Structure 1
Amino acid sequence: MNAKTGAPALKQTLGTIQLWGIAVGLVISGEYFGWSYGWASAGTLGFTVTALFIAAMYTAFIFSFTELTTSIPHAGGPFAYSKKAFGPLGGYIAGAATLIEFVFAPPAIALAIGAYLNVQFPALDPKTAAVGAYLVFMTLNIVGVQIAAMFELCVTLLAIFELLVFMGVVSPGFSIAHFVKGGWSGQDHFSLAAIPGMFAAIPFAIWFFLAIEGVAMAAEEAKDPQRSIPIAYITGIITLVLLAIGVMVFAGGAGDWTKLANINDPLPQAMKLIVGEHSNWLHMLVWLGLFGLIASFHGIILGYSRQIFALARDGYLPGYFAKIHARFNTPHRAILAGGAIGIAAIYSDELITLGGQTLTANIVTMSVFGAITMYIVSMLSLFRLRRSAPDMLRPFRAPLYPWFPAFALAGACVCMTTMIYYNLLIFGVFAAFLVCGYVVFLLTKNSRTLEQSAVA
């Protein structure tokens, strides 16, 4: 309990290296799968342009977002910043969008875990393996944040090592001719016809970096958030940008990249082009490659649970989900609630397979809609708080203000506009979630206030 307010509170146990592990681990599965769907519409060269633009946007965003995280170290992260800047409605939009981002990303990662295991065990149903992953890592997150964070750091380091091994193994067969062939939406030379494909590929470039902002949800559990979070964020984004470029270039140069454009396991398949399907290197990549997926899956469970917990603690969700486990001091009910939604998404093929895309591609897109909405609201919150709360303690100030946050905001608006254009049906589902959630929020306001008083 918080000694001042009596509300449920989390223990401050995380150090800088653990926060860096969470920052990179949350995202690193994006280096293993998901991004290659961008090749299907943009080609390798077109997608490279898109990815570099998104990398620049994320870099500007993280340098700006860190100001908010260190000024308001709250388990709700963007929800808390937007609530302070724009009141309850702003808090709801940011909180609901973040929740959609973090609840829909894990099923996509779980399905990729299943796909990787299916390479090794063809008889194993990928969906069964995905549900098994949920059960294992929800349990680990319930046992304790310190244990969970140390596990996250270990698997993140192993995942980085494996990506470096992948680059090293495929490098002897790398050919720039492979990478550039048909690199502009299937054409060898750039033309204006390639531009629509580059815009359509935005969600999959975002997948390279999606959820790094989840460190904000661990701020309340950091020992020294004002110092450790900026270090974790900045070193984390640098690590991820370098890995994303390396993985994309080496995979595309390994052979016929079109064979990798619509699958959940592009790295093993790229390596197969070089070493053959019976190589020990391939088997090692499949096993160690799981660490990257596990790192993100495990880390995002931590993120969504803190978001559900914070929203419930502030009365935006039923107070039932703000309960902390008496022994492990973790938000166990929030962990289980997000897991139940994710498992349902795994088996919702007919509902989520929209617009002719695969289940994984649509889950990724839904998660990205949540992320981009949160980025826009967060940058607007930064500008608003600079004006409305000029004397607020800011241990870290966004560099090159207002240019960095303005670029991040403009980039996010471009992403949102193009994503709506190319994914109108999924956006409709996303908007329906937000509207329905807000209606429920308004209708249950009085009962939630009573529950919140009981929790406190």
Structure 2
Amino acid sequence: MSNNNESGVVTYNEVSADYLDNRQLKKGVAGWVLLASLGVSYVISGDFAGWNFGLAQGGFGGMLIATVLMGIMYTFMVFGLAELSSSLPTAGGGYSFARRAMGPWGGFLTGTAILLEYSIAPAAIAVFIGAYVNSIFGIDGPLVYAGCYIAFIGIHLLGAGEALKIMMCITGVAVIALLVFALGLIPHFDVNNLLDIAVNTEAAGATPFLPEGYIGIWSAIPFAIWLFLAVEGVPLAAEETTNPGRDMPRGIITAMVILLIFAFGVLFLAPGVAGSEMMKDHGAPLVGALQVVYGENSSIATFVNIVGLFGLIASFFSIIYAYSRQVFALSRAGYLPRFLSITGERKVPTMALIIPGIIGFLLSLTGEGDLMITMAVFGATISYALMMLSHIILRFKEPNLERPYRTPGGIFTTGIAFILSIVAFASTFLVSLEAAMWAGIFYAILVAYFAFYSRHHLVGKVPDEEFAAIAQAESELS
């Protein structure tokens, strides 16, 4: 055992010579187009279901303002992540950035917050897939959820290149569904439909635009986040990217531009045709809006219903990829049990795909999609704050770090994203104290594991830890 401590915070263990040989990802399988597709794929399910619950919290006005604020937060955050991922291209993503900026504790707190988000989000999406399947075939529940996990984890086990290409095709089909939805509803849009939710006269500042008053804006934030949630996962593909310094910024920024267009498209069109009152708790809002105009059994509504499944599947499929890479990176460095990072002949982390999948399936059995959205947002917003803080710290701590891409506006940009992420984190307690408390318990369990065990059993000879060790050595020399 080597006591190579950072101020006594952690202990690094010696490992066998073939340790890293058994933990290798396939290099060069993704260029910027695949990365952009991956970014859209992570998020696109949010356009098909889940966002509309924000209408119940804040009405159209509250949801619109929340979406504008979160659109700013995510856009500015993406600019920061484009810089960080081009400078520190490892499979750890946010964990690697925070590890470099704030040490092992900062890295672990960030990585586990991301893991909390990515473990829970697929469970929520599985519930929404069940609602869509039920509307088409009359089948819902555990069989649908289990089928999703088994089928798509199985595809990922075939290899990263194969999985990412299949994911891009699925995402393309989902984009077609969104375009058909938009073209079908634009002629029938009526701005008066947006404001049909009854005004809560007891709420401060309540108007037809803000039926739940000012507090409704804050309450709608977790559901506005659902329109962008997980785009920050693109850097997790860094070790499998052809040229991270060039491809990462291009891919994640392109994805964000596309997602902004989709987000405001569905937000205006669905309630602008069917009414916010009808959309606020609809299980399949895009289909419901089309049915109002064209009839329940119309071909266009049926098409979007069936093809819309691909949007949910795309996000489900891609977030499985994301959680497996986050688990892989944390496990490879010893923060999580090391067996989770072992890769086979196809260079995929088998146990990092399967174990979180089992946990996600068990969570999906609750059927509480909106509750799990809030839990996922709890973890996500913690990671956002820590990643933006990492960008700010590294600008001061390591001004000479090679940065193939530099964030427009520098720390001012990421500082705004940091502030908005704190606001977004606080909103989870407002929407559902139960969800925030459950997420907090899961997070606390992981933190306790690190505090009492894994920080004494880390592995120094992995990319994320070596990056930090080099930086520390350079700092001591200077």
Shorter-chain TM-score tier: over 0.9
Q: Is the 8 A contact 1:318 1:448 kept in 2?
A: no
User: 1:337: which partner in 2?
Assistant: 355
- 1:109 has 2:120 as partner: no
TM-superposed CA distance for 1:319, in Å, is 0.6
Q: Say which of 325, 334, 342 aligns to 1:323.
A: 342
Alpha-carbon distance change, 312 to 106 in structure 1, aligned in 2, over 3 angstroms: same
Could you state the TM-score of these two structures normalised by the residue count of structure 2? 0.88
Alignment gaps of 5+ in structure 2: 1-15, 463-478
Whole-Å Cα distance in 2 between the matches of residues 403 and 184 of structure 1? 38
Q: Is the 8 A contact 1:21 1:153 kept in 2?
A: yes
- Secondary structure at 2:133 match in 1: helix
Q: Say which of 186, 194, 200 aligns to 2:213.
A: 194
- 1:127 has 2:145 as partner: no
Q: Is the 8 A contact 1:85 1:385 kept in 2?
A: yes
Report the more deviating stretch, 262-271 or 359-368.
262-271
User: 1:46: which partner in 2?
Assistant: 62
User: 2:449: which partner in 1?
Assistant: 440
Q: Deviations over 1:382-414 (max 9, x none)?
A: 111112222211111111112111110111111
Alpha-carbon distance change, 2 to 195 in structure 1, aligned in 2, over 3 angstroms: farther
- 1:348 has 2:363 as partner: no
Q: Is the 8 A contact 2:42 2:314 kept in 1?
A: yes
- 1:165 has 2:180 as partner: yes
TM-superposed CA distance for 1:45, in Å, is 2.0
- 1:363 has 2:378 as partner: no
Q: Say which of 401, 404, 418 aligns to 1:392.
A: 401
Q: Is the 8 A contact 1:83 1:92 kept in 2?
A: yes
Q: Deviations over 1:352-402 (max 9, x none)?
A: xxxxxxx11110000001110000000111111112222211111111112
Alignment of 1:211-360 (within 5 A): 211-326=230-345, 328-348=346-366, 359-360=368-369
- Secondary structure at 1:21 match in 2: helix
Could you state the TM-score of these two structures normalised by the residue count of structure 1? 0.92
Alpha-carbon distance change, 191 to 21 in structure 1, aligned in 2, over 3 angstroms: closer
Q: Is the 8 A contact 2:42 2:316 kept in 1?
A: yes
Whole-Å Cα distance in 1 between the matches of residues 381 and 216 of structure 2? 19
Q: Is the 8 A contact 1:2 1:8 kept in 2?
A: no
User: 1:415: which partner in 2?
Assistant: 424
Alignment of 1:20-31 (within 5 A): 20-31=36-47
TM-superposed CA distance for 1:263, in Å, is 2.9
Q: Is the 8 A contact 2:377 2:428 kept in 1?
A: no
Q: Is the 8 A contact 2:197 2:277 kept in 1?
A: no
Question: Could you tell me which amino acid in structure 1 is paired with residue 261 of structure 2?
Answer: L
Whole-Å Cα distance in 1 between the matches of residues 35 and 18 of structure 2? 25
Whole-Å Cα distance in 2 between the matches of residues 234 and 185 of structure 1? 39
Q: Is the 8 A contact 1:46 1:184 kept in 2?
A: no
Alpha-carbon distance change, 224 to 4 in structure 1, aligned in 2, over 3 angstroms: farther
Q: Say which of 71, 79, 94 aligns to 1:55.
A: 71
TM-superposed CA distance for 1:316, in Å, is 0.6
Q: Is the 8 A contact 2:336 2:454 kept in 1?
A: no
User: 2:13: which partner in 1?
Assistant: none
Whole-Å Cα distance in 1 between the matches of residues 412 and 180 of structure 2? 38
Alpha-carbon distance change, 446 to 291 in structure 1, aligned in 2, over 3 angstroms: closer
- Secondary structure at 1:35 match in 2: coil
RMSD: 2.3
Whole-Å Cα distance in 2 between the matches of residues 38 and 185 of structure 1? 15
TM-superposed CA distance for 1:426, in Å, is 2.2
Alpha-carbon distance change, 443 to 8 in structure 1, aligned in 2, over 3 angstroms: same
Question: Could you tell me which amino acid in structure 2 is paired with residue 341 of structure 1?
Answer: I
Question: Could you tell me which amino acid in structure 2 is paired with residue 11 of structure 1?
Answer: K
Q: Deviations over 1:148-191 (max 9, x none)?
A: 11111111111111101001112232211112333877965356
Q: Is the 8 A contact 1:45 1:184 kept in 2?
A: no
TM-superposed CA distance for 1:6, in Å, is 5.0
> Deviation above 4 Å: which 4+ runs of structure 1?
1-7, 183-188, 190-193, 446-453
Q: Deviations over 1:51-73 (max 9, x none)?
A: 11110111111011111111111
Question: Could you tell me which amino acid in structure 1 is paired with residue 153 of structure 2?
Answer: M
TM-superposed CA distance for 1:4, in Å, is 11
TM-superposed CA distance for 1:242, in Å, is 0.6
Report the more deviating stretch, 415-424 or 363-372.
415-424
User: 1:180: which partner in 2?
Assistant: 195
Question: Could you tell me which amino acid in structure 2 is paired with residue 32 of structure 1?
Answer: F
Alpha-carbon distance change, 184 to 20 in structure 1, aligned in 2, over 3 angstroms: farther
Q: Deviations over 1:84-109 (max 9, x none)?
A: 11111111100110000000000111
TM-superposed CA distance for 1:199, in Å, is 0.5
Whole-Å Cα distance in 2 between the matches of residues 381 and 163 of structure 1? 36
Alignment gaps of 5+ in structure 1: 350-358
TM-superposed CA distance for 1:256, in Å, is 3.0
User: 1:34: which partner in 2?
Assistant: 50
Alpha-carbon distance change, 450 to 73 in structure 1, aligned in 2, over 3 angstroms: closer
Question: Could you tell me which amino acid in structure 2 is paired with residue 379 of structure 1?
Answer: M
User: 2:226: which partner in 1?
Assistant: 207
Q: Deviations over 1:199-255 (max 9, x none)?
A: 001000000000001111111100001111111111111100011111111101112
Alpha-carbon distance change, 445 to 57 in structure 1, aligned in 2, over 3 angstroms: closer
Report the more deviating stretch, 177-186 or 71-80.
177-186
TM-superposed CA distance for 1:34, in Å, is 0.6
- Secondary structure at 2:208 match in 1: coil
TM-superposed CA distance for 1:434, in Å, is 2.1
TM-superposed CA distance for 1:277, in Å, is 0.7
Q: Is the 8 A contact 1:85 1:381 kept in 2?
A: yes
